[in-house]
Chains A and B, each alone.
Chain A
Amino acid sequence: MLFRPLRLRMVERWRVSMWSLLALFVWVLPAAAQSYTQRGFVESSSTIYPQAALNDSTHFVSEALLRYEGSLKLSTAFQVSGALDIRTDTHHQTERELDLSWWDRERRRPLAAARRLSIVYHRGGLSIEAGKQFVRWGKADILNPTDRFAPRDYLTVVDNEFLGITAARLTYEKGRDTIDVVWAPRFTPSRIPLADQRWSPAQTPPSGFILRDGGAAFPGGSQAGLRWSHIGSVEFSASYYEGFNHLPLFDAQPSFDGVVPVVTLQRVYPEIRMLGGDAAVPFRFFDIKAEAAYFNSGNPLADDYTQYVVQVERHSGEWTFVGGYAGEYVSSPGTPTVEFAPDRGITKTVLGSVRFTIDVNRSVAFDTSIRQNLDGAWLRAEYSQAFGQHWRATATASLIRGNPADFLGQYRHNSHAGLILRYSF
C-alpha cells in the first residue's frame, strides 16, 4: 500500500514532464527561436473490408492522426528534434486515455506518443544522437533483414509504420566510409495485431482447449549494433547486431482452469545475434540491390536462419520498377511454436512494385507479393493526387488471397479499399 502511491506519484511526474516537453516544442520554441523548423500533417483514413473475418465482423474502420515534427538548432554543433503523434480511431485500436507514451509498449496504439525526441551533437565527421530516434539500416526496399533497430506498428499488417527507439547512436564519417554504433538501453517491441481484430495471426488452440493471452515478457537487457558502410561506384555495408527480436514468439503454457484445459500464450522476444550485409551495384540499364543476414539465437524456441533479398531497380522517365525475390534458409529449427513474423512471412516470395508519375500532382502505383508456392498473394493498387499546396488524397485497394496456413493467406478475408486524406503543414 505504501509503494502504490509512490508509483502513482512517479507516473504523474512522468506525465507532467512529458506534457511540458510537448508544450515546449509546440508553443515555446517556435516563438522563441529563429532556427526552429517544423512540419506535420493531419490525416484521416477510412478502410472498408467487404468480408467479415473469423474474429472480427467490423467492415468499416476510420482513423485520424495528427503528426507534428519540430527541430531546433541550439548552436552549430547541437540540435534537438522532436515529433509527436496524436491519434484516434473507430475500432478501439487506439488507447482512449490521454497519456503520452514514450516506450511504445502498449498493445493498442497510444492516443498521444512521443515519436521522436533526441539531441544531436556533431563535429567534423562525428555525430552523436541520444534519445528517441529512428535508426534505419539496409539498402533493399522490399525487405530489410539487417534493419534490426526498426520495430514497426503491425496493427494493420500490410500497412505498417516504423516506431522510434530510445538509443544512443554514434556515427563517424570519413571520406567514403561510415561507422555507425548504436546502443539501445531498453527494448522497443513491434506492435502486433490485437487478438480480437482481423489482422491477428491465426491461433487455433488444440481441440477442447481455451486460449488465453499471457501478456508479454519483455527482455530486460540492452541491444547494440555496429555497421560499416562504404559509398562509391558500388555501395556496400557490413553490420552486426546483438539484442532481441522485436517480433515475438508465443510461449504456450498449458494449465487447467478448474476442469477446463487452458493454453496461455505469452509473447517472448528471443535474443538474437545478427551478422549481415548489403550492397547496391549500378549497371547500365538497372541497379541491383541485395541484402542478407544470418540470425542466431540462444533461445530454444527460435530458429537459426538466413534471410536474403535480391532486387532489380530501374527508373525510366516517369516509371519506377522494382522487382525481386526474398528468401530464407533455416539452418537450425527451434521448438515448433506460434510466432508473429511478417518479415519471415514475406520470404520465399516474389515481390514487385511499379510506380508511374502521371504529372507533378498525380501518381499511380502497384505492389505485389506472391509466395513461390502460390499459397499466398497480396496485390495493392494506389492512386494519389495532390490538391494545391497542402492537400493530398490517396485511394488504395488491396487484394489478399491464399491458403489459411500461409502467412499472407491467413489474411484472405482482409482484402480492403481505403481512402486517405492528408493536410500537410
Chain B
Amino acid sequence: MNRQIWAVVFVLLLTSTAYGMQTGDARQIVEEAQRRTRSGSQRYEGTLQVIDAKTKVTEKRWLFDRTGSHGDSKAVLRFTAPAEVKGVALLILNHRETASDQWMWTPAIARERRIALQDRSTRFFGTDFSFEDLEERDTNQFDYKLLGEESAGGADCWKIESRPKKTKSSQYSHSLLWIRKDNYVVAQIENYKQAELIRRARYSDIRNVQGFWTAHTIEMEDLKRSSRTVLKLEKLQYNVPMKDEDFTIQALRRES
C-alpha cells in the first residue's frame, strides 16, 4: 500500500515539476543559449544572397561589428557591396528594457535617418531581414513557454514559444524557437503575426569559434514574398578590441 502511495506522490511530483519546467525552464534554456554566446565583441564579414520568387540572385556584402552583448550591445553594419551602396551603414543601440534605437547613414546625402519603431517591419535594404530582425533583445523583454521537443536542422531541439511582453514593440505577435540540445545554438526561428507565419530563419553550418558555437549560415525566408536571403558569416572573430566611440552617429559620419 505504502509503495502505491509513494508511486502516486512520485507521479504527482513529476507532473508538477514538468509543468514548472515548461514555464520556468523555457526561460532558462533561452538564457543559457544567450549566456553561451555572451562575448565582449563580435566581428564578421557577411555575404548575402537575396533570392527572389523567380530565383533571381542578388549579392550584397556587409561588415558587422558588435560591442557588448545581449540587451545592451551596440552594433554597426556597413555595406561593402554592391558598389552603389558601399558606405551605407546602420547603427543599432540595443537596450535591456525597450526596443533598440537604429539610425541609417546614407553617404550620398551625408545624412543619418532614424528608423522609427513602426518602420522596423520594413525590409532592410532589399534583403529578407527586417530592421527588427537585426536587433538583439534581452530575454526580459519576452515571455517563454516550452512547447516540447522537436528535431530541426537534423538535431534534437527544444521548441519554445516566445511572446514580446510589450506587444506594440514588435511586428511579430509571437515566435517559435528551436534551440539545439547539444550546444544551445538556435537552429530555427519562426516569426508569426497572429496565426500567420511571416518569416522563418534557419541556422546551419554551426562551428566553434574561440569557444562560441556559432551558425555560419542564416537563411531568412519571407513567406509572404516567397523570397529568401542567405547570410554567410566569414572571418568571424570574437572579443576583438573595440571602442564605444565607434558606435555613435558621429562615427557613422566619420567612417563614411
Partner of B116, one of A173, A231, A282, A357: A282
Residues from chain B with Cβ under 8 Å of A317 in the complex: 121-123
Residues from chain B with Cβ under 8 Å of A315 in the complex: 116, 118-119, 122
Q: Is the CB of A173 within 8 A of B248?
A: yes
Q: Does B249 interact with chain A (Cβ within 8 Å)? A: yes
- List residues 111-135 of chain A with CB under 8 A from any CB of chain B: 120, 122, 124-125, 127, 129, 134
Q: Does A60 interact with chain B (Cβ within 8 Å)? A: no
Residues from chain B with Cβ under 8 Å of A44 in the complex: none
CB distance from B190 to the nearest CB of A (A): 20
Residues from chain B with Cβ under 8 Å of A389 in the complex: 59, 81-83
CB distance from A177 to the nearest CB of B (A): 11
- List residues 148-167 of chain B with CB under 8 A from any CB of chain A: none
Partner of A178, one of B59, B121, B126, B249: B249
Residue in chain A with minimal CB distance to B225: A359
CB distance from B202 to the nearest CB of A (A): 20
Residues in B lying within 8 Å of A, measured CB to CB: 50, 52, 56, 58-59, 81-84, 86-87, 101, 109-111, 114, 116-119, 121-123, 126-127, 168, 227, 245, 248-250, 254
Bound complex: CA A315 to CA B117 (Å): 10
Residue in chain A with minimal CB distance to B131: A315
List 5 tightest A-B contacts by C-beta distance, closest first.
A360-B126, A424-B83, A315-B119, A424-B84, A134-B110
Bound complex: CA A392 to CA B111 (Å): 22
Q: Is the CB of B127 within 8 A of A360?
A: yes
Beyond known contacts A127-B254, A361-B56: 8 more, CB 8 A cutoff: A122-B245, A134-B110, A136-B111, A231-B114, A315-B122, A318-B123, A386-B82, A390-B84
CB distance from A339 to the nearest CB of B (A): 26
Residues from chain B with Cβ under 8 Å of A120 in the complex: 254
Q: List 6 A-B contacts (CB under 8 A).
A: A171-B250, A173-B249, A178-B250, A287-B118, A315-B116, A361-B126
Residues from chain A with Cβ under 8 Å of B52 in the complex: 359-360
Residue in chain A with minimal CB distance to B168: A284
Q: Does A79 interact with chain B (Cβ within 8 Å)? A: yes
Residue in chain B with minimal CB distance to A363: B126
Residues from chain A with Cβ under 8 Å of B245 in the complex: 122, 124-125
Question: Given known contacts A127-B254, A359-B126, is B83 in contact with A390 (CB within 8 Å)?
Answer: yes
Q: Does A41 interact with chain B (Cβ within 8 Å)? A: yes
Q: Is the CB of A284 within 8 A of B82?
A: no
| Interface class of chain A by DSSP | strand
Question: Given known contacts A360-B126, A389-B59, is B117 in contact with A282 (CB within 8 Å)?
Answer: yes
Residues from chain B with Cβ under 8 Å of A79 in the complex: 254
Q: Is the CB of B82 within 8 A of A424?
A: yes
Q: Does A228 interact with chain B (Cβ within 8 Å)? A: no
CB distance from B120 to the nearest CB of A (A): 9
Q: Does A96 interact with chain B (Cβ within 8 Å)? A: no
Bound complex: CA A223 to CA B85 (Å): 33
Bound complex: CA A323 to CA B127 (Å): 26
Residue in chain B with minimal CB distance to A150: B110
Residue in chain B with minimal CB distance to A361: B58
Q: Is the CB of A357 within 8 A of B123?
A: yes
Bound complex: CA A424 to CA B245 (Å): 31
CB distance from A394 to the nearest CB of B (A): 11
Bound complex: CA A136 to CA B87 (Å): 17
Residues from chain A with Cβ under 8 Å of B101 in the complex: 231
Residue in chain B with minimal CB distance to A81: B256
Bound complex: CA A87 to CA B104 (Å): 30
CB distance from B181 to the nearest CB of A (A): 36
- List residues 379-423 of chain A with CB under 8 A from any CB of chain B: 386, 389-390, 392, 422
Residues from chain B with Cβ under 8 Å of A134 in the complex: 110
Q: Is the CB of A285 within 8 A of B118?
A: yes
Residues from chain A with Cβ under 8 Å of B81 in the complex: 389
Bound complex: CA A317 to CA B245 (Å): 33
CB distance from A256 to the nearest CB of B (A): 48
Residue in chain B with minimal CB distance to A422: B84
Residue in chain A with minimal CB distance to B58: A360
Residue in chain B with minimal CB distance to A389: B82
CB distance from B206 to the nearest CB of A (A): 27
Partner of B114, one of A124, A280, A316: A280
Q: Does A425 interact with chain B (Cβ within 8 Å)? A: yes
Residues from chain A with Cβ under 8 Å of B227 in the complex: 359
Residues from chain A with Cβ under 8 Å of B168 in the complex: 284
Bound complex: CA A254 to CA B41 (Å): 70
CB distance from B80 to the nearest CB of A (A): 9
CB distance from B72 to the nearest CB of A (A): 14
Q: Does A162 interact with chain B (Cβ within 8 Å)? A: yes
Q: Does A328 interact with chain B (Cβ within 8 Å)? A: no
Q: Does A59 interact with chain B (Cβ within 8 Å)? A: no
Bound complex: CA A41 to CA B82 (Å): 12
Q: Is the CB of B84 within 8 A of A41?
A: yes
Q: Does A235 interact with chain B (Cβ within 8 Å)? A: yes
Bound complex: CA A74 to CA B248 (Å): 20
Residue in chain A with minimal CB distance to B111: A136
Bound complex: CA A7 to CA B114 (Å): 49
Residues from chain B with Cβ under 8 Å of A422 in the complex: 84
Bound complex: CA A194 to CA B245 (Å): 45
Residue in chain A with minimal CB distance to B245: A124
Partner of A357, one of B119, B126, B254: B126
Partner of B86, one of A39, A286, A359: A39
Q: Is the CB of B110 within 8 A of A136?
A: yes
Q: Does A314 interact with chain B (Cβ within 8 Å)? A: yes
- List residues 220-277 of chain A with CB under 8 A from any CB of chain B: 231, 235
Residues from chain B with Cβ under 8 Å of A280 in the complex: 114
Residues from chain B with Cβ under 8 Å of A287 in the complex: 116, 118-119
Residues from chain A with Cβ under 8 Å of B86 in the complex: 39, 424
Q: Is the CB of B82 within 8 A of A390?
A: yes
Bound complex: CA A389 to CA B74 (Å): 30
Question: Given known contacts A136-B111, A360-B50, A425-B83, is B126 in contact with A286 (CB within 8 Å)?
Answer: no
CB distance from B61 to the nearest CB of A (A): 10
Bound complex: CA A284 to CA B118 (Å): 6
Q: Is the CB of B84 within 8 A of A386?
A: yes
